[in-house]
Amino acid sequence: MSAGSERPEGAIEAPAAAPAHWAHRHLLDVDALTRPDIELVMRTADEMHDVLERPIPKVPALRGLGVTILFYEASTRTRVSFEVAAKNLSADVVNIAAASSSVSKGESLVDTVRTVEALGADMLVIRHSVSGAPYLAAEIFSGSVLNGGDGWHAHPSQALLDLYTLRSRLPGGLLEGRKVVILGDVLHSRVARSNVWTLTAMGADLWICGPSTLLRGFEAWAARGAAGRRFTVTSDAGAALQDADAVMALRIQKERMASGLLPSLREYAARYGLTNERLRAARPDAIVMHPGPMNEGVEIAADVAAGPRSMVTDQVHNGVAVRMALLYLLAGTRRTEAGA
Amino acid sequence: MSGSGGHDTTIRGWAVDPGTGHEGAAVLEVRDGVLERLVWLSGADAEGLTPGAALILPGLIDLHAHFREPGNEDAETVATGLAAAAHGGFTTVALMPNTTPALDEPSVLGRVLAAAGASGSPVRVLAHGAVTTGRKGETLSAMGELADAGVVGFSDDGAPVRSATVLRNALAYAGALGIPIVDHPEDLSLTEGAEASEGYVATVLGLKGWPAAGEAGSVARSLAVLADVVRDVPGARLHLTHVSTASSLEHVRAAKAAGLPVTCDITPHHLALADEWIAGARRWAWEALDGDGRARDPWADGALVARPYDTSLRVNPPLRSAQDAAACRAALRDGTADAIATDHAPHTEVDKHVEFGWAANGISGIETALSVVLAAVAAGELPLATAVALLTTGPARVLGARGGTAPGLRAGEPADLVVVDASGAWTPSAASLVSKGKNTPLLGRVLPGVVRLVLAGGRLAYAGD
Ligand SMILES: [Zn+2]
């Protein structure tokens, strides 16, 4: 899936040189981002991070541009993060919490996007429970669409902020050969899917771990090594955590028990919960991440979440910088097109 | 062309007659709708008449089409469906009973046949009746009355006959009437909420998987029930429609070898498209295999050219892997599959221009079916004679005597044939499709084979430019 209107061929075999500028009109997925694209996001996020250190963390980069944040799923942290990011760039921000389902007679996504555009939005951040919905929005919307998370499919800004956080803690910011573990319910996780693309693009030794019922399909993905990328899938938490440089725990939801995918939360916590004891197998300086919101005592122990390894508050802080960078880069393609 | 319906024409081309097994250069003379003369040509007379030029085939038969009337005339009517059928080269269609109300008793059949009559189309309309009342899966429909009224099969298509007990009773009761049960194989406990075939593509796209076992398990169950029933009711017959996986086809192959009275069909989209289309690939399924017969990785080889999550690709059963599509073509070649059936499923824009997971299932396919099959023929994936048989004599055998006259190019009988310019190409578009359903992933794609003339029962059904 393209991050923009053009799908660069062989996006994975990244050219050595960084691109002169950002060429993607939309950010709908991370699968077509080249390594230079990702590095440009990281460098831009560094600049935005500096902005956030100022007494008044605000720049006029998006002044006069309308950013509409259209969320079809309840989410406080991602929505607020985008809102803060857009406001820091001086954009005019509109928030829409929309309710929709396949059976409700509410306004259709197509109609809503047309309305949002008519009301003056230049950029649209969309969160939706159905995989692929942002592509439908992008087909209609004449500005830029930024995927704020769709179904099980993708969460580009989360994967990029995770990467930014990892780089901030690894020597030289380099992931080559570093063992990164994604632990938990990957089947239902757009965060996991997007991280597969970004982490493998940066050369990490990626391990995907969870109960076998929640790994469904990932063995097929790993076997194909999408676009030449490799990762390891295992239900053995011990093997996954052995000598790990970083562990990303994913939220486990109670519905997974009702649908028969897991015996109990208690059993999940005992076998896959990220505890200090389990982390002893990892490297001494290993870091711990979580996209939030956390179920402490289930997928992550409270003392780990609040402990010295935890990057959770860094992730929240970095999230604003990375989202500022993404809005800034996408706005740049608008300016280029308008000026051309 | 004569106004009273009887047609006069002389046609020269490459005739394929699966009724007799003859294939070759021929000239056909049609007078007042009757095929008066068929002369096989040779030597200088046959010059220029090759399979790559004008093809003359018996009128095609579709075992599985949804014309949506009564109940959803915004998506299709009997009249628009018949016009689309003719445009696709079909002179006989068997309609599915999942209308509103369902075709579970003769009065609904009467409405459908009245609409067909009013349309003036010479395309022959056959109908499947529902297996159960209201397609609810509980009590048998008015099977005997429907049989008297002329239905050719019983199907709850759109859904499987969920209860094995109901299936057993239906096979027995319909078997005594000499009518097959046409089952849509799906184990709903494995497919609830499914959006795409389980596997690599669905995983990467974050789409809920429809596992192969969701079909193969249902096929195995139905075959086991059939084996029991047929001991008591020798006339019992099972037809499995839109079979899509290698594992299901293995069950059918074994059952046929064991002598069970089972037949099956495969759709054009399951033999020619693969799940990678949902990711944005647009190559034929046979182009998506590597030298070892494994599916290629569209994310790695630059095959992703279209926007992903195109809802025209949402269909049930879902598009499968390129290996499954290859297994479908192998089954069509070796006789495991008996027919190609379109599962023509037109939908409105309202039902399709929505989020992928919420889009209605179905592809509008009756106008593109022949072209898709000819693309497979051109690629060497199906022999021409086999392909034609799978669209004519194959479905006729599934229908049996209730399907009417066997297809063939026979002098002295009303002309029922299609003339195709095999060297020509066309591009389906919202404007060029006659069906109300524009929901096909083939819009904008150049397809081989242009239907030039269709005669149905001696009358003109379609004439191209
Ligand atoms: Zn069906």
Can you tell me the distance from the alpha carbon of B205 to that of B214, in angstroms, rounded to the nearest whole number?
Answer: 20
Nearest to B279 among A1, A133, A220 (CB): A1
Q: Which parts of A235-274 fold into alpha helices (H)?
A: 237-241, 255-258, 265-272
Q: Which residue of B has its CA nearest to A103?
A: B358
Nearest to B273 by CA among B445, B64, B96: B445
The tens digit of pLDDT for each residue in B133-172 reads: 999 999 999 999 999 999 999 999 999 999 999 999 999 9
| Nearest one of B61, B44, B54 to B10, comparing CA atoms | B54
Query: Sorting pLDDT into bands at 50, 70 and 90, what band is B358?
Result: very high
Q: Is domain A156-312 annotated with CATH 3.40.50.300?
A: no
Chain B hits for A106, CB-CB cut-off 8 Å, are none
Predicted confidence (pLDDT) at residue B268 exceeds the cutoff of 70: yes
In the reported structure, the alpha carbon of residue B8 is separated from the centroid of ligand 1 by a whole-number distance in angstroms of: 39
Give yes or no for residue A205 having a pLDDT over 90. Answer: yes
pLDDT of A5 strictly over 90: no
CA–CA separation, B394 and B232 (whole Å)? 27
**Cα–Cα nearest to B5, from B126, B125, B120, B124:** B120
User: Is B343 one of the catalytic residues?
Assistant: yes
Residue range B39-77, pLDDT digits in tens: 999 999 999 899 888 999 999 999 999 999 999 999 999
Question: What is the band of A18 on the pLDDT scale with cuts at 50, 70, 90?
Answer: very low
Contacts of B199 in chain A (CB under 8 A): 217, 220
B316 CA → ligand 1 middle, Å: 7
As a whole number of angstroms, the distance between CA A103 and CA A61 comes to: 41
Q: Is the pLDDT of residue A103 over 90?
A: no
Number of A/B CB contacts below 8 angstroms equals 102
The confidence score (pLDDT) of residue B191 equals 97
Which residues of chain A does B309 touch, with a Cβ-Cβ cutoff of 8 Å? 131-132, 135-136
Residues from chain B contacting residue A128 (CB–CB below 8 Å) = 355
Two tokens at B351?
């039902």
pLDDT at A106: 66
A12 pLDDT above the threshold of 70: no
The reply to whether domains A13-154+318-331 and A156-312 share a CATH topology is yes
3-state SS assignment for residue B382: coil
Q: Give the pLDDT mean for A166-191.
A: 96
CATH number at A13-154+318-331: 3.40.50.1370
How confident is residue A252, by pLDDT bands cut at 50, 70 and 90?
Answer: very high
Chain A, nearest residue to B205 by Cα: A153
CB-based contact A7 B299, cutoff 8 Å: no
Considering only CB atoms, A154 lies closest to which of B202, B206, B280, namely B206
Q: Give the burial string for A269-287 (b: 16+ CB within 10 Å, else e).
A: beebbbbeebbeebeeebb
Residue A340: the pLDDT is: 33
State the average pLDDT over residues A191-204. 96
Most confident of A70-74, A113-117, B40-44, B333-337: B333-337
Q: How far does the CA of residue A113 sit from the closest CA of chain B (Å)?
A: 12
Q: Measured between CB atoms, which of A130, A135, A220 is closest to B358?
A: A130
Ligand 1 centroid, distance to A59 Cα (angstroms): 57
Share of chain B above pLDDT 70, in %: 99
- The pLDDT of residue A17: 40
Q: Which of B157, B183, B343, B351 is catalytic?
A: B343
- From A268, A78, A93, A227, select the one nearest A159 (Cα to Cα): A78
Q: Is the pLDDT of residue A11 over 80?
A: no
> pLDDT at residue A42 above 50?
yes
Does the distance separating the beta carbons of B358 and A102 come in below 8 Å? yes
Is B309 in contact with A10 (Cβ distance < 8 A)? no
pLDDT tens, residue by residue, A290-328: 999 999 999 999 999 999 999 999 999 999 999 999 999
Per-residue pLDDT reduced to its tens digit, B71-95: 999 999 999 999 999 999 999 999 9
A201 CB neighbours in chain B (<8 A) are none
The shortest C-alpha distance from B135 to chain A (Å) reads 21
At A194 the pLDDT is 98
| Domain residue extents for chain A | 13-154+318-331, 156-312
The size of chain A, in residues, is: 340
Domains and CATH numbers, chain B: 59-406 (3.20.20.140)
Q: What is the pLDDT of residues B308-341, one digit of tens each?
A: 999 999 999 999 999 999 999 999 999 999 999 9
Q: Give the pLDDT confidence score for residue A228 in this predicted structure.
A: 66
Instruction: Kindly report the average pLDDT of chain B as a whole number.
Output: 96
**Does the pLDDT at position A3 exceed 50?**
no
DSSP structure string for A98-140: ----SS--SPPHHHHHHHHHHTT-SEEEEEESSTTHHHHHHHH
Mean pLDDT (whole number) for B11-15: 97
**Per-residue model confidence as pLDDT tens digits over B386-432:** 999 999 999 999 999 998 889 999 999 999 999 999 999 999 999 99
| B380 CA to centre of ligand 1 in angstroms | 28
- Full DSSP string of A270-296: HHH-B-HHHHTTS-TT-EEE--S---B
**Distance between B350 CA and the closest CA of chain A, angstroms:** 9
From A132, A151, A220, residue closest to B200, measured CB to CB: A220
Chain A residues with CB-CB distance to B357 below 8 A: 102, 130-132, 151
pLDDT band, very low/low/confident/very high, at A9 (cuts 50, 70, 90) = very low
Q: Which of A109, A220, A225 sits opposite B203 (nearest CB)?
A: A220
Q: What is the pLDDT of residue A16?
A: 39
Average pLDDT, chain A: 90
pTM: 0.95
> What pLDDT, on a 0 to 100 scale, did the predictor assign at position A334?
61
Of A242 and A102, the one with more pLDDT: A242
Compute the distance between CA of residue A7 and CA of residue A24 in angstroms, rounded to an integer. 9
CA separation for the pair B303, B389 (Å, rounded): 33
CB contact under 8 A, B206 and A31: no
Q: Which of B194, B190, B249, B186 is nearest to B221 (CA)?
A: B186
> Are A217 and B297 an interchain contact pair (Cβ–Cβ within 8 Å)?
no
Contacts of residue A77, Cβ cutoff 8 Å, sequence gap at least 6: A292, A293, A316, A319
Cβ–Cβ under 8 Å, residues B128 and B95: yes
Confidence of residue A105 (pLDDT cuts 50, 70, 90): low
Q: In chain B, what residues touch A190 (CB-CB under 8 Å)?
A: 206
The contact set of B with A (CB < 8 A) is 195, 198-200, 202-209, 279-280, 297, 299-300, 302, 304-305, 307-309, 353-358
Q: Kindly report the nearest CA distance between residue B298 and chain A, in angstroms.
A: 8
Q: Alpha-carbon distance B118 to B115, whole Å?
A: 5
Q: How close is the Cα of B343 to the center of ligand 1, in Å?
A: 7
- Integer Cα distance of B158 and B98 in angstroms: 7
A153–B297 CB contact, under 8 Å: no
Question: CB A227 to CB B300 under 8 A?
Answer: yes
Q: Would the CB atoms of A216 and B202 count as touching at under 8 Å?
A: no
Q: Which chain B residues are Cβ-neighbours of A152 within 8 angstroms?
A: 206-208
Give the single-character DSSP code of B312: G
